[in-house]
Amino acid sequence: TQAFVARAQAHESLGSFLHLDADNALAQARAADERRAAGQAHALTGVPIAHKDVFVTADAPTTAGSKMLAGYRSPFDATVVARLGRGADGVTGAGMVSLGKLNCDEFAMGSANENSAYGPARNPWDTTRVPGGSSGGSAAAVAARLLPAATGTDTGGSIRQPASFSGVTGIKPTYGVCSRYGMIAFASSLDQAGPLARSAEDCALLLSAMSGFDPRDATSAERPPQDFHAQMRAPRAGATAAQPLKGLRVGLPKEFFPQALAADVEGTVRAALAELEKLGATLVDVSLPRTELSIPVYYIIAPAEASSNLSRFDGVKFGHRADKYSDLLDMYKKSRAEGFGPEVQRRIMIGTYVLSHGYYDAYYLQAQKLRRMIADDFQASFRECDVIAGPVAPSVAWQLGEQGNDPVAAYLADIFTLPASLAGLPGMSVPAGLGAGGMPVGLQLIGNYFAEGTLLHAAHAFQ
Ligand code: GLN
């Protein structure tokens, strides 16, 4: 803990931490030592971590990267935070040591961590570039070895894309595997928590500890606790030492390799696929014909849900309140105009528009129908293959400020992560090699519902 705290302090300029509390971390580390001495340690007890600042924490402020929540303190820990830490009862958690809170795009809206009200995080591979987003602080911290692991959240790619841009491993489990209790809501039907770490093996340990049924989240999956590490290690039937992936059918959707895909990304991903073949996997062609439509579908559904979720930040129940106002409505207007950044305001307006009377059928309802069809396309593909593979993003990490004032450019770059999010499927990003400018490129693996073990197994064999 001391070494990681010192390293995090020495690399403050990466902008990955929003809150770092050395004293609190050392106190947790001492408790972990006692637990270990008492023979009650979990594999992760005493291992440092930090949390994306959308997870509420009782012993640290939570801002969601927004001015709206500056100075906010939650009275309780998010379920994921509690399970990785002390545990809701103070004893049964994994006993990891939290160093603090990590930078992210405001309310997790973004793909570069440039929408944080507290400044950007930087990519440790090249600090003139973005680390990806919205879990940019998490990815940058793990990539720079300021932490062995971090939590993230993924609504439309926010674990997988920063993992790809920063050369770390990240997994977004099936919707419902990790509790959303205490995770500040962006788009509730899409939001999922997951780990970012150095390897699939570390992700498996973390995911086992942070997942599981939670009665406080109405969409939590009612399944017995999973040991993803055991699933990752279990040999496939018919596999050999040289061919651990023998019999695994890897589907390549042709829509994931379009003309517009950067040549360096395509080359790196194809080399990774050849590696999977060497490990015994069989590559099969599949199709996800509505891949392109996932962009308009997501950018209707996610803002619609966001506009509803963010209505709670009204200067009364939560958040920033303007100093001067004439009446209640003026107080709401001024508080929200001052507290929310431009991207969040844009999404609230889009969401309110698509949900309004007269537009609901044309936009929101159409998007919901297409969402179902996108999920059905995956099920058709999974009749031909066990996992789907492709790129995570169409390019390597871009330069800070490069996208300027063009939000649509960032939306379009979400094309390969949005389909699995809309379908609620598990997806992960595994470092595949380096592309243009020596920047990391991730291989995306998408599995069927609750097939995290299959993804982690394939990623582990590849690593
Ligand atoms: N880039 C996407 C967006 O801006 C995804 C964000 C996320 O997964 N939280 O909405």
Is the pLDDT at 174 greater than 90? The verdict is yes
C-alpha 80/C-alpha 287 separation (Å) is 35
User: What value does the mean pLDDT take over residues 38-50?
Assistant: 96
Residue 251 is classified by DSSP as E
Q: Which two tokens stand for residue 150?
A: 């971090």
Assess whether the C-beta atom of 302 lies below 6 angstroms from ligand 1.
Answer: yes
The torsion of the CA quartet 262, 263, 264, 268, rounded to 10 degrees, works out to 110
Nearest Cα to 375, choosing from 306, 294, 454, 456? 294
**pLDDT at position 260:** 86
CA of residue 32 to ligand 1 center, whole Å:
35
- Beta partners for residue 17, in sequence order: 102
| Catalytic (active site) residue 52 | yes
- The domain ranges of the chain are 2-232
The pLDDT value recorded for residue 318 is 80
Condensed to tens digits (0 to 9), the pLDDT of residues 196-218 reads 999 999 999 999 999 999 999 99
- 272, containing H or E segment: helix 263-278
Q: Which two tokens stand for residue 333?
A: 């207007």
Question: How many angstroms is it from 111 CA to the middle of ligand 1?
Answer: 6
ipTM field: 0.98
Annotated active-site residue in 52, 101, 172, 334: 52
| Confidence at 404, pLDDT banded by 50, 70, 90 | confident
- Collapse the DSSP code of 390 into the 3-class scheme (helix H, G, I; strand E, B; otherwise coil) and give the result: strand
Tell whether the model's pLDDT for residue 78 goes beyond 80. Answer: yes
Ligand 1 neighbourhood includes 214 CB (under 6 angstroms): no
Burial class (CB in 10 A: 0-12, 13-18, 19+), 337: exposed
| CA dihedral over 97, 18, 159, 278, signed as positive or negative | negative
Ligand 1 pocket test: which of 53, 111, 346, 429 has the largest number of ligand atoms within 8 Å of its C-beta? Answer: 111
pTM over the 0.95 mark: yes
Mean pLDDT score, 310-334:
94
Phi/psi for 55 (5° steps) reads: -90, 125
Instruction: Please say if the pLDDT value at position 53 is more than 80.
Output: yes
Computed from CA positions of residues 264, 171, 15, 186, in that sequence, does the dihedral angle turn out positive or negative? positive
Please check the confidence at residue 90 and state whether its pLDDT lies above 80: no
d(CA 201, CA 181): 26
Q: Is 100 in the pocket of ligand 1 (CB under 6 A)?
A: no
pLDDT of 91 higher than 90:
no
pLDDT value at residue 89: 81
* Cα(122)–Cα(440) distance, integer angstroms: 14
Which atom of ligand 1 is found nearest the CA of 414?
1
For 178-196, what is each residue's pLDDT tens digit? 999 999 999 999 999 999 9
Q: In the predicted model, is pLDDT for residue 228 greater than 90?
A: yes
Half-sphere exposure of 180 (CA within 13 A, CB side): 22
Per-residue pLDDT tens over the stretch 324-370: 999 999 999 999 999 999 999 999 999 999 999 999 999 999 999 99
Measured from the CB, is residue 77 less than 6 Å from ligand 1?
no
Mean pLDDT of the chain: 97
Residue with CA closest to ligand 1 atom 10 = 109
Q: Is 311 exposed, middle or buried (0-12, 13-18, 19+ CB in 10 A)?
A: middle
Share of the chain above pLDDT 70, in %: 100
Give residues with Cβ within 8 angstroms of 391, minimum separation 6.
164, 256, 257, 261, 265, 266, 269, 416, 441, 442, 443, 444
**pLDDT of amino acid 32:** 96
Q: What is 2-232's CATH number? A: 3.90.1300.10
Residue 391 confidence class, pLDDT cut points 50, 70, 90: very high
16 noted as active-site residue: no
Instruction: Give the per-residue pLDDT at 317.
Output: 83
Does ligand 1 lie within 6 Å of residue 111's CB atom? yes
Q: Measured between alpha carbons, how far is residue 114 from residues 132, 143, 157, 198, 391 in Å?
A: 9, 18, 15, 24, 22
138 and 102 Cβ atoms separated by less than 8 Å: yes
User: Alpha helices of 382-445 — where are they, by DSSP H?
Assistant: 407-412, 418-423
Q: Is 108 in the pocket of ligand 1 (CB under 6 A)?
A: yes
436 contacts: CB under 8 Å, gap ≥ 6: 262, 264, 395, 396
**244 Cβ inside 6 Å of ligand 1:** no
Residues 159 and 196: beta-carbon distance below 8 Å: yes
Known active-site residue 421: no
Q: Distance between CA atoms of 95 and 92, rounded to whole angstroms?
A: 8
pLDDT at 319: 86
How far the first Cα of the chain sits from its last, in Å, is 27
Q: How confident is the model at residue 92 (pLDDT cuts 50, 70, 90)?
A: confident
Phi, psi (rounded to 5 degrees) for 54: -105, -5
- C-alpha radius of gyration, the chain, whole number: 21
**Banded pLDDT at 265 (limits 50, 70, 90):** very high
